[in-house]
């Protein structure tokens, strides 16, 4: 199914969850080439993430819950984008809460995001014959083991669908099924990005997220808390690399539908914590606490498909990405405080 609607000036692009961590960075990058419609209900994100974008005529923020059916004709503010004539060319669906510390309170939101919101956004893609990209997660592969901790797109993971995390882990698997079913039935060009751990400016503070909490505690001279296994290893992809991956994936043809995005360089969480202590000249020490439900072991991505079919590789060194994130946190911790949030 091809979108043959004429484009008058720039393409129209929708980003759901656009005021969140990933979404706000994507909106910012897309403004170089597109008119961006950012849809977010701010239930788990923050308007401060997109404050600097509101001045641009090619950017429009709509406060709306995408778990409900979406009718763009209801929003007069979109008249300037001539949506009724030009339609929408691309949809990035990022809206889903990912709060480790507040996961229990957001279970229903996760369930809705991986079901109702899938249908409403995919219906919109069918209506406008738009290309569609869904931000899935590496959790669909299940827990890594010592024998199998690097995942390829062909791997079929095992997920405990009735576990306390089921609304997110199994939810992401169901969400991928929604995307693929719409492709089979309606012939739309859909993409699934399986996102591995990503970090950078605008992540939520004090929310159980490793990097920002490590930085904040190091700045304040508090202990850096490692939840669960002190030997846990992870990969860390900087936000600008991840955003480039999303855009490159959206630019591919219909033959490209699922791809891993993340860093294939694995490092222990303790090493990252010690790097942050050193970079902030902190006197903090490491401590261990019981694992958070939402914060579990994750494997690393096999990036062969991304490298060979998209020409994408993560470029930002961990040291450089951490430095940027530290600088941002120092500059914004008082202003943003505990209200800073993300939505991916």
Neighbours of 204 (CB within 10 A): 26
Torsion of CA 289, 295, 301, 307, to 10 degrees: -110
Angstrom CA distances, 100 to 105, 131, 207, stand at 10, 31, 6
Per the CB < 8 A criterion, the answer to whether 114 and 172 are in contact is yes
| CA gap 335, 343 in Å, rounded | 19
State which H helix or E strand residue 93 sits in.
strand 90-93
Report the sign of the C-alpha dihedral through residues 74, 76, 78, 79, in that order. positive
Closest residue by Cα to residue 90 from 244, 241, 247: 247
Per the CB < 8 A criterion, the answer to whether 184 and 257 are in contact is no
Burial class of residue 102 (count of CB atoms within 10 Å of its CB; 0-12, 13-18, 19+): middle
Question: Which pair of tokens denotes residue 238?
Answer: 């900087």
Angstrom CA distances, 237 to 18, 155, 232, 247, 259, stand at 19, 21, 17, 16, 15
H helix runs in 251-303, sequence order: 269-279
Backbone angles phi, psi at 122, to 5 degrees: -70, -35
* Catalytic residue flag (residue 128): no
Per the CB < 8 A criterion, the answer to whether 177 and 119 are in contact is no
The single residue of 128, 132, 168, 238 carrying the catalytic annotation is: 168
The DSSP result for 199-262, as a single string, is: E-TTPPSSSS-HHHHHHHHHHTTPPEEEES-TT-EEE-EEHHHHHHHHHHHHTS-TT--EEEES
Which residues participate in catalysis according to the annotation?
168
């Amino acid at each position: 199914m091809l979108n043959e609607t004429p484009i008058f000036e720039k393409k129209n692009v929708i980003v759901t969850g656009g005021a969140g961590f990933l979404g706000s960075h994507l909106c910012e990058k897309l403004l170089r080439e597109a008119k961006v419609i950012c849809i977010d209900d701010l239930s788990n994100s923050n308007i401060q993430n997109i404050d600097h974008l509101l001045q641009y005529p090619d950017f429009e923020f709509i406060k709306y819950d995408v778990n409900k059916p979406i009718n763009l004709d209801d929003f007069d503010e979109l008249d300037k984008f001539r949506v009724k004539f030009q339609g929408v060319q691309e949809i990035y669906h990022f809206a889903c809460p990912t709060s480790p510390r507040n996961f229990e309170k957001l279970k229903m939101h996760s369930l809705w995001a991986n079901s109702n919101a899938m249908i409403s956004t995919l219906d919109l893609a069918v209506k406008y014959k738009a290309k569609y990209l869904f931000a899935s997660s590496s959790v669909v592969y299940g827990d890594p083991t010592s024998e199998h901790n690097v995942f390829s797109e062909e791997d079929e993971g095992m997920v405990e669908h009735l576990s306390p995390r089921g609304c997110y882990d199994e939810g992401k698997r169901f969400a991928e099924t929604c995307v693929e079913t719409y492709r089979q039935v309606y012939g739309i060009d859909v993409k699934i990005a399986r996102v591995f751990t990503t970090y950078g400016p605008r992540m939520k503070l004090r929310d159980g997220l490793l990097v920002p909490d490590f930085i904040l505690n190091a700045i304040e001279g508090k202990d850096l808390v490692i939840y669960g296994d002190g030997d846990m290893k992870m990969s860390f992809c900087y936000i600008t690399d991840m955003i480039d991956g999303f855009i490159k994936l959206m630019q591919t043809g219909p033959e490209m539908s699922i791809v891993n995005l993340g860093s294939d360089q694995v490092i222990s969480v303790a090493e990252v914590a010690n790097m942050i202590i050193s970079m902030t000249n902190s006197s903090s020490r490491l401590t261990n606490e019981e694992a958070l439900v939402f914060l579990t072991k994750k494997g690393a991505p096999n990036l062969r498909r991304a490298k060979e079919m998209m020409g994408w590789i993560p470029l930002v060194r961990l040291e450089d990405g951490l430095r940027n994130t530290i600088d941002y946190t120092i500059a914004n911790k008082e202003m943003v405080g505990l209200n800073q949030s993300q939505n991916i």
